[in-house]
Amino acid sequence: MPLGSLVVITALVCATSAALTRRAPCPDGVHTATHPACCALFPLVDGIQQTLFDGGECGDEVHESLRLTFHDAIGFSHSRGRSGGGGADGSIMTFADIETQYPANGGLDDIIHMQERCLSQCSGDGSISAGDFIQLAGAVGVSNCPGAPRLQFLLGRPNATAPAPDNMVPAPFDSADVIFARFADAGFNPDEVVALLASHSIAASKIINPSIAGAPFDSTPELFDTQFFLEQLLRPPTHEAGLQRGQTDSPIEGEMRLMSDYLISRDSRTSCTWQSFVNNQARMANAFRNAMAKLAVLGQDTSQMIDCSEVIPEPKPLPIEHSQSVYPAGFSNADVEPLCAATPFPTLSTLPGPITPVPPVLPS
Ligand code: CA
Ligand code: CA
């Protein structure tokens, strides 16, 4: 090939690439977007922030919205095909009267109703499907939590045509084998399960033990940090009283510890991945972003979807005093049960001050 032809081809490739990434002004005169279809999402994102998340907080509604992305998407099965559900298709909202009856979806009614209202009222003249809305609200909500990665958002999920069947969502009382098998059937390996569990850094339990409703899974439910992975490794207390099915005792007062998290943190298949996230914010955030990108499009034809990730706000970094994993007051390396023999456990400092219970997360 003559050199001149090569130069022409290279120039064409560069021009095509530039055209693909060029941002065009949106009709609102404020935003720009790489695809015109993304423009309609900017006012919707503003509406979600104001209506669902109190102007941009990382509170209970964000936790529940993130939980909803998972409970909608995981209704998907390679082995069962369409009878296993349509994945991230919005079925949990479209067929809420059926899917919220499933025990694993307990407590999701409130956030589904809030999101349904916003879907009809926040979107102005641009309407999106329930499946798109659930994943969009989840990604916007996560962006309010300092330390979180900016999640991908693809637009274009068709409306759900049927509810997902029951028993697709892993339960906190399931064994690690059962949980890994369910995730494998949806296309996730055990390491990706651990990555998805980073969601428990910004989560609280509502229904597992009503006597401690709102108990978070780590001491910093308003921050997407690595505390969850550290605090789960603290040795449990010997007294176990008042525990509910799916719960195991946490040594930190006010904190909820799920039996499933406890088992996965100590399972030989995942203990090293679990430990690798302790005090490694970038590694954890990156793994979570990748696993969420997969989860958010389960059952969808991504070749028909438009990448509108640009509408998701850029999350703030962690406050400097939370940039490292730290033991809660009263704990130290002596309290850790490290189960990964391959790598030494990091040496971490202890938060100064008195031992204080973790307060519950309550709806605003
Ligand atoms: Ca679904
Ligand atoms: Ca946290």
CA of residue 71 to ligand 1 center, whole Å: 7
pLDDT over 60 at 3, yes or no: no
197 alpha carbon, closest ligand: 2
pLDDT tens per residue across span 27-54 = 989 999 999 999 999 999 999 999 999 9
- Return the beta strands (E) in the chain as ranges: 24-25, 32-33, 154-155, 204-205, 215-216, 247-248, 257-258, 306-307
Least confident of 12-16, 181-185, 329-333: 12-16
- Of the listed ligands, the closest to the CA of 92 is 1
Q: What is the pLDDT of residues 271-297, one digit of tens each?
A: 999 999 999 999 999 999 999 999 999
Expressed in angstroms and rounded, the spacing between residue 174 Cα and the centre of ligand 2 is 24
Closest CA to 236 of 247, 245, 246: 247
CA of 293 to the centre of ligand 2 (A): 21
CA 215 / ligand 1 centre spacing (Å): 27
Residue 1: pLDDT over 50? no
Q: Which two tokens stand for residue 146?
A: 């300092």
Measured between alpha carbons, how far is 288 from 226 in angstroms, rounded to an integer?
A: 12
d(C-alpha 48, C-alpha 54), whole Å = 9
- How many angstroms is it from 247 CA to the middle of ligand 1? 26
Which ligand gives the minimal distance to the CA of 145?
A: 2
Which of 2-16, 147-161, 228-242 has the weakest average pLDDT?
Answer: 2-16
Q: What is this structure's pTM?
A: 0.92
List CB-based neighbours of ion ligand 1 within 5 Å: 72, 75, 89, 91, 164
Average model confidence (pLDDT) for the chain? 92
CA of 17 to the centre of ligand 2 (A): 39
Q: Ligand 1 centre and the CA of 94: distance in Å?
A: 9
Ligand number with the minimum distance to the CA of 318: 2
Please report, as a single letter, which amino acid is at residue 81: G
Angle, CA 231 vertex, CA 105 and CA 355 arms, to 5°: 115
pLDDT of residue 124: 64
Confidence of residue 8 (pLDDT cuts 50, 70, 90): very low
* Residue 179 banded pLDDT, cuts 50, 70, 90: very high
Using a 10 angstrom Cβ sphere, with 0-12 exposed, 13-18 middle and 19 or more buried, the burial of residue 223 is buried
Q: Is 31 a catalytic residue?
A: no
Average pLDDT (101-113) is: 96
Q: Which of 63, 71, 200, 322 is catalytic?
A: 71
pLDDT of residue 122: 87
Cα–Cα dist 44/141, whole Å: 13
Cα separation of 175 and 173, whole Å? 7
